[in-house]
Structure formats: C-alpha cells, structure tokens
Structure 1
Amino acid sequence: MPQTDFTEKLQDLMQRVGISSFKALSHATGVSAHQILQLRRGKLEQMRVDVLLKLSSVLQLSLSELVATFSRVDAIEEKAATTQELLQEIADLKIEYQRSQLQQEQQRELLLQEFQQSSLQILESLLLQWPTAAYKAQENPQLAAIKIVPLVQKPLERILQTWGVEAIAPVGAEVPYNPQLHQLLEGTAQPGEIVKVRYTGYLQGDKLLYRAKVSPVREF
C-alpha cells in the first residue's frame, strides 16, 4: 500500500495561521517533530487525542475537521467495509438463531405429538370402554366393581411398563419397613419392622418417584 503524504495539506493550513516551518509548528503546539511527521504520513489514528487537540487549536480547526482532513480515504473505506461485514455477520447470526429456535420449537411439538399418540394407543381400551362401563355402573349400582377394575388396571400397567416405572410393593403387602421407600401414615416403626402397604409407591430405575404409604402391623 503506497504511503499517504499530507505534507502539502499541513503546509497550507500552517500558512493560513502564519507558521512557516514544521519546527515552528512543533514549538507553537508543544508537539514533537515525530508526531508532526506521523500526521504528515497519514497515521493520525496512531496519535493521542491530546496531541490532536493541540494541533487543531494552533491550526484553528475543530478536532473533527482535523480528523477529516488528515484521515486516509483507504483507511476510512477499510473501516467502513469492516463495519459492514460485522453488521452482516450479526444479521446472519440473528437469522441462524431464529431458525434454530424455530427448529427446536418444531422438534418439541413433534415429540409432544409422538408422546401423546403413543399414550393414546396404550390407553385406547380404557378410552373406548370406560365411558360405557361407568354408564352401566350408574344404571346398575349392584354391578360388581371387580368387573370394571381390569379396564383401568391393564392400560395403567402398560404405561408404567413402557416408561420403566415399577411399584415398590402391591397394596396389602406386608414388608420390612424402609424409611427411604416407605412413608408412615400413622404410628411409629423401626427399620426392618413389618408394615402393611396402604398406598403403593413407584420407582423409575434408580429414581424414587413416590414413597409407598404404610401402616405398622400390630401384633395382638
């Protein structure tokens, strides 16, 4: 890249304020000869602001006028191009982020639909038969409840099996008391003492979902 020379521009400005040499300019401004050389070579962006203020004051220019006069066009264009590239990158990133968000939302909707569909398939017999069974039970209060239980129990067992959920113990079972798996509904019990399961609890793998609710077994 050819070196930019602002010597003539500086000399014109110096003549307008009655300064005849660069040495005189250095003396009038208190700016070193090296800094004035930097200005002549178009390296204004490497100069300190306080130096530029001293020069602009003696040359009777505002700081913005001094910067505009001694800035290289190629440097301005380069900065403008860089800024434009950054703006374009930011715009592209925003578009990519919005696309990613949309894809994630669509994926969530798809997974939810698949989950609902698989659950409905498991519950199909309950959905189709339970309303009729409930209606018949209302019509005939003497209808044995044992006949209705399988309509609920089988779909529930299929769901639990599909999701890897296991009952801690069946209702009515008498088991050794384990405070980590059991919750006492009443009374007290020491670990290992026999208790009766009133409400079953559930495990999913190693994760405890619900503790089984139990009561002490009283010996008479």
Structure 2
Amino acid sequence: MQLLGISSYKALSRQAGVSERQVKRLRLGQVSQMRVETLIKLSQALKVPVNELLTTFGDRKPPALGEQINREHELASLQQEYQRLRSLLEQQRETLMQEFQMSSLQVLESFLLYWPTAAARALENPQMEAVKLLPLVRPVQQMLSQWGVEAITSVGAELPYDPQFHQLIKGTAQPGEIVKVSNLGYRQGEKLLHRVKVSAISKA
C-alpha cells in the first residue's frame, strides 16, 4: 500500500471498489470466506497476483488436519474460479474487439470499395478535379464523429499562436502572434490528440 501511495485501508477499499469489511477479512486471513471477484479487485488494486494473496493471507491459526484439507480444497477451488473468470474476461475482450472492428468496417465500406479506384483514376488523369473525391472521405469523417473526435480549426485559418495547442513547423512566432494553419489538429472531448500544425506569417 505504501509503494502504491494508498494511505489507509479505507482508501484501499475505495480504490478496489470493495467494502471495508472485505478488506478487514483479507487482513484477518479469511480469504476462504471472500468471493473470487472481491479477491480479483483487491489483487488489481494492490498489483499483487491473486495466488500471492491466497498464500499470504491464509488462515493464521494452525488448522486441524481435516480443516487443512478443506482449506486447501477451498483455495484450489478459488484458484480454479479465478482462472475461469480470467479466461472469460479474455474471451469477452476478444469478442468486443471483433465487434468494434466489424462496426468500423461497416462505416468504412464505401471508402474501402471506391477510394482505391478513385485514387487510381486520379493518378491516370492529373486533370481530374480533386473535389470529386471528397464525398468518398465522408465515411471516415462519420466514424471519427461517432468516436467524438473533432478537428481543431480549419486549414488556412489565421489565429493567435498558442504553443499548448499549436506546433510551429515553419518560421518563428511568439505566443499571441498570428500564424496560419497548415494541418489540422484533433481532440476527443477534453483530450488533445494532435496539435494543430502552423506556420509563421511573414511580417513583411
């Protein structure tokens, strides 16, 4: 707890998302009376393997032979349940990833089908108007919008230089001086994903 900056047992219960009673049970070595989900949450909060918790916080009193056999059986059952839940979580994670990929591919379907052909036609015919290709990019914009990703400002915009949000790629500028946007930046909610690339405007 000290290494992780957890100041009290109450703080541990909050961080792990379990009751203080469960933390007390762990301290008293009553792991056989605790649910597997609770042990997993505590192991994650303490960054200690569940097996180590089971070994460290076992019954402190020397048990009778029959009790020892029962406790060993209970611990083995807990370990098996932990492995089962861990395997289930991995399967759920893989399923969610597959569903995410499929939904993304559905949004991008028209882009995947028609963009390569349009790009090839543009290379064959340099006189082709680039504006005709813009509708093909809409699925990408739609997907970014669904993810809450927003473009910051617009290409060619002139605005006061802010080093926190802008990356100067050409020339020099002091904060507050007007610069020109070369490449868009992006944010997702309050999180800045990419700073806006800007160029200094010639003072001449």
Shorter-chain-normalised TM-score: which range? 0.5 to 0.7
* Distance apart, 1:105 and its partner CA: 0.6
TM-score, length of structure 1 as denominator length: 0.60
Partner of 1:191, secondary structure, is coil
* Distance apart, 1:113 and its partner CA: 1.2
- Partner residue of 1:135 out of 120, 129, 150: 120
CA deviation map 1:94-141 (0-9, x unaligned): 111111111111111121012111211211110111122123234433
Summarize the Cα distance change of 1:138–1:191 in structure 2 as closer, same or farther, 3 Å threshold: closer
- Partner residue of 2:143 out of 159, 167, 178: 159
Matched letter for residue 111 of structure 2 = L
* Distance apart, 1:199 and its partner CA: 1.0
Aligned to 1:29: none
Matched letter for residue 147 of structure 2 = W
**Cα RMSD (Å) of the superposition?**
1.6
* Distance apart, 1:164 and its partner CA: 0.7
For the 8 Å contact 1:168–1:181, the answer to whether it is kept is: no
Unaligned runs of 5+ in 2: 1-62
TM-score, length of structure 2 as denominator length: 0.65
Matched letter for residue 64 of structure 2 = K
**2:100 aligned with 1:101:** no
- Partner residue of 1:90 out of 67, 75, 78: 75
- Partner residue of 2:95 out of 90, 106, 110: 110
Aligned to 1:187: 171
Aligned to 2:191: 207
**2:68 aligned with 1:121:** no
Tell me the percent identity: 58
Partner of 2:170, secondary structure, is coil
Question: How many residues are aligned here?
Answer: 142
Distance 1:117 1:134 in 2: 24
* Distance apart, 1:190 and its partner CA: 2.1
Aligned to 2:182: 198
CA deviation map 1:127-176 (0-9, x unaligned): 11112212323443332222123312x12211221111111111111111
Distance 2:119 2:196 in 1: 29
Aligned to 1:174: 158
Distance 2:127 2:172 in 1: 39
* Distance apart, 1:182 and its partner CA: 0.4
Summarize the Cα distance change of 1:206–1:137 in structure 2 as closer, same or farther, 3 Å threshold: same
Alignment of 1:66-81 (within 5 A): 79-81=64-66
Distance 1:93 1:141 in 2: 68
